[in-house]
Structure 1
Amino acid sequence: MDALDVLTHDHRMVEQLFRDYRAAASDRQRRGVVELLVRELSKHAALEEMHLYPLARKVLPDGDREVDEHLSEHMGVKQILLDLDRLGEGDRRTGELVEQLRHEVAEHIREEEGTLMPRLRQHVSQPDLDRLGRLIAQAKAAAPTRPHPNAPDQPPALTFAAPVAAAYDRLRDRLQRRPRT
């Protein structure tokens, strides 16, 4: 899969997680889905920020403006993820936050798949998208698994901060027995 296929696959997986949340039969199941949402969306955002958005800035005529809009959306998503991550099983605020997150993520996906990705397909060669896809797939294993809204969201600072955040996140995940994906 090329880079855009990998990220689109992530979108479909997250949409399925929102359906799983609605179908969950207990607070424990809902909390498990929330933990997966936090993990997958945190990884996805970090990968876009480290790999896709720098490419878009470079190759698209108005790349800076477009990427800045996506980064702003990421900030809102990360804040909701942080709020969800801090809640405990059965917290009454969870449903409302998940619905806010679903709305934000749906809008972000619509914009990326409707505008950004088609424009990148026009401006980036298939071999380059294939190489980036392999890089993103490999980087998933080392991406942060928790939201870090105050961390840098652009290289070069992101390049240094992300591995530290990822190591810390994975330690916390193990200690808290969070699901792995």
Structure 2
Amino acid sequence: MDAIELLRHDHRMVEQLFRDYHAAASETQRRGVIELTVRELSKHAALEEMMVYPMARKVLPDGPRKIDEHLSEHMAVKKLLLALDRLPAGDDREGDLMAQLRREVEEHVREEEGELLPELREHVSRQDLDELGRLLDQGKRSAPTRPHPNAPDQPPALTVLGPVAAAYDRFRDRLQGRPST
């Protein structure tokens, strides 16, 4: 998959996780879906910030402004993910936080798929999108699995701190018995 196809695939997977949350038959299942949602959205956001947004910032007309808007949306999502990640299972706020997260993600996906991704397709060669897709796919294996709203969201600081955060996240995941990816 090229980068745009991969990002759209990620969006569909997260949409399915929101449906799975509402279909869950127990508190344990809902918590499992929350943990998967936190992991997948954290990886997705980190990889966009490390690889996709820097390219878009350079190649798109008005790229810096557009990417700053997307980074702002990421911050709202990361704060909600952090709140969900810290929430004890069965907490009364869980449903409201998931509903807020869903709204934020749906808006972000609409803007990304309606504007950003088509513009990238127009301004980036097929070969470069294929290579970026390959790098994104590889990056999923080592991206942070938890939200880090206080971490830098742009290279070069993100490029340096991202792998450290990822290693720490994966260590925590093992200690807490969360699935690894």
* TM-score when normalising by structure 1: 0.99
SS at match of 1:147: coil
Deviation at 1:88, TM superposition (A): 1.2
Corresponding position of 2:31 = 31
Deviation per CA, 1:8-38, whole angstroms, max 9, x where unpaired?
A: 1000000000000000011100000000000
Q: Where does residue 11 of structure 1 map in the other structure?
A: 11
Once residues 93 and 180 of structure 1 are traced to their aligned partners in structure 2, the CA distance between those partners, rounded to angstroms, is 26
CA distance in 1, matches of 2:24, 2:114: 30
| Corresponding position: 1:130 with 2:130 | yes
Counterpart in 1 of 2:75? 75
Identity of aligned residues (%): 74
Distance in 1, Cα, partners of 2:61 & 2:101: 30
| Correspondence 1:17-56 to 2 at 5 A | 17-56=17-56
SS in 2 for 1:65: helix
SS at match of 1:141: coil
Superposed CA RMSD: 0.5
What is the Cα deviation at residue 179 of structure 1? 2.1
Output the CA distance in 1 between the equivalents of 2:178 and 2:72.
Answer: 28
Stretches of structure 2 that go unaligned for 5 or more consecutive residues are: none
For residues 37 and 82 of structure 1, what CA distance do their matches in structure 2 show? 11
CA distance in 2, matches of 1:91, 1:134: 39
In 2, Cα distance between equivalents of 1:153 and 1:5: 23
The answer to whether the 8 A contact 1:32-1:179 is kept is no
Q: SS state of the match for residue 178, structure 1?
A: coil
Deviation at 1:180, TM superposition (A): 2.7
4+ long deviations beyond 4 Å: none
CA distance in 2, matches of 1:54, 1:70: 12
Query: Are the equivalent residues in 2 in contact too, given 1:4–1:117 (CA < 8 A)?
Result: yes
What displacement does 1:93 show? 0.5
Once the two structures are superposed, residues 20-61 of structure 1 have per-residue CA deviations (whole angstroms, 9 ceiling, x without a partner) of 000001110000000000000000000000000000001001
What is the CA–CA distance in structure 2 between the aligned matches of 1:79 and 1:61, rounded to whole Å? 29
Secondary structure at 2:47 match in 1: helix
Q: Tell me how far apart the structure 2 counterparts of residues 115 and 149 of structure 1 sit (CA, whole Å).
A: 25
Q: TM-score, normalised by structure 2?
A: 0.99
Superposed counterparts of 1:112-123, under 5 Å: 112-123=112-123
Q: Deviations over 1:90-131 (max 9, x none)?
A: 111000000000000000000000000000000000000000
